A = this chain, B = another copy of it.
Amino acid sequence: MAFEFSQKVLFKHCDPAGIVFYPRYFEMLNDCVEAFFDEVLDMPFETLHATGGVPTAEITTRFHRPSRHGDRLLITLCVTRVGRSSAGLSFVATAGAETRLTARSTLVLVAADGRSRPWPEAVKQKLLDREEARSHAT
């Protein structure tokens, strides 16, 4: 039930040391979350952002090993917690058997005025299904 997102490491991601410039990883994680909201939650960002957004409130990231140009990353997103208007997510990015990055973040659903607002019921249910699936898998 984990959501998987593939990302080849491209020229634009890499720094003079030939490895991913770490702010670019956060663009990848954001792309992964955007795909998750579109494909799983049926709440595409392009629609959502007409009336608010889901800013990241906090994110903790560990860069286990560097990624190089041409590496094929697989980013796995799991739902770790579902609140009234927030969600906890975890990410693992691997290249083959090697873990490159792990992260945990909290997102908050906000209205156009920036105030938190509750998840729509259908979305919350999908988040809970994911969270449940994950708990059972553990």
Contacts and interface: CB of A to CB of B under 8 A. Distances in A.
Contacts of A61: 58-61
**Mostly helix, strand, loop or mixed at chain A's interface?**
mixed
A58 B66 contact: no
A63 to B, nearest CB: 6
A69 to B, nearest CB: 4
Task: Report the contact-size class of chain A (Cβ under 8 Å from the partner).
Answer: 35 or more
B46 A70 contact: yes
A16 interface: yes
Given A61-B60, A66-B114, A70-B44, A11 B55 contact: no
B12 A14 contact: no
Contacts of A30: 11-12, 21-23
Interface string A38-67: 000000111101001101111111110010
Contacts of A52: 17
Interface string A18-29: 110111101100
